């Protein structure tokens, strides 16, 4: 009997998280709320998408640079993660309206999607200007946005910090998203995880920052 996708994904997620925890790479976890949701992380490297996919507790549809999805060797890693049931990917750029329609359809079904709002990798580590696509999609689909900050650290090497959800009707959604992605990196700044509880970097420091 074939293994169900949900069970297959559950096993793959548990194994991957355990390997990352034991290796000291990352001990974070993203507990996403139920319902339609736009996950909006900053973008530091090619590993950001797979990292978010490994840390979430539900499948996510990722908007991916078409160059990496269709032409680069990196695409084999993405397709392997799709086979494991971590989520799905769709090539996303301004010239592909079909991809945005597919993201909108996923939100209409109550699913979670992930779009990197900077639209490119920030090679220097500083947040790039936020592009308007996430805010437009959130308003069109009346879907909240969850800022997620990916941070390099010493122990664990990578911390993933969820901010407070942003209401899609907020007139300054893009500015709030930018502020959240920037502020969550500051020591002593309180953030909130996907359930609305205080958490983020403050909790990470208390839990993993002890010498």
Catalytic annotation, residues: 43
Among 125, 188, 207, 193, which Cα is nearest to 165's?
193
Is 21 exposed, middle or buried, given 0-12, 13-18 or 19+ CB atoms closer than 10 A? Answer: middle
Among 117, 177, 107, 94, which Cα is nearest to 142's?
107
Q: Within 13 Å of residue 50, how many CA atoms lie on the same side as its CB?
A: 20
- Residues with Cβ < 8 Å from 48, sequence gap 6 or more? 41, 42, 116, 150
Contact 24, 157 (CB under 8 A): yes
Strands 60-64 and 145-152, bridge-based pairing: unpaired
3-state helix, strand, coil in the chain (%, to 5): 40, 20, 45
Token couple for 5: 């996708």
């Amino acid at each position: 009997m074939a293994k169900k996708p949900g069970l297959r994904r559950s096993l793959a997620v548990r194994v991957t998280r355990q390997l990352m925890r034991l290796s000291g790479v990352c001990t974070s976890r993203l507990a996403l709320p139920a319902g339609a949701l736009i996950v909006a992380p900053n973008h530091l490297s090619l590993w950001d998408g797979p990292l978010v996919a490994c840390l979430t507790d539900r499948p996510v549809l990722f908007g991916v640079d078409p160059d990496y999805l269709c032409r680069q060797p990196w695409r084999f890693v993405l397709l392997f993660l799709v086979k494991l049931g971590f989520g799905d990917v769709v090539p996303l750029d301004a010239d592909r309206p079909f991809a945005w329609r597919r993201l909108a359809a996923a939100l209409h079904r109550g699913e979670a999607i992930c779009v990197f709002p900077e639209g490119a990798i920030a090679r220097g580590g500083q947040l790039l200007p936020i592009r308007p696509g996430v805010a437009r999609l959130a308003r069109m689909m009346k879907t909240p946005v969850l800022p997620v900050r990916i941070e390099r650290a010493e122990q664990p090497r990578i911390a993933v910090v969820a901010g407070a959800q942003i209401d899609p009707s907020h007139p300054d959604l893009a500015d709030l998203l930018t502020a959240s992605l920037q502020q969550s990196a500051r020591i002593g700044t309180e953030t909130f995880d996907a359930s609305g509880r205080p958490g983020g970097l403050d909790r990470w420091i208390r839990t993993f920052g002890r010498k």
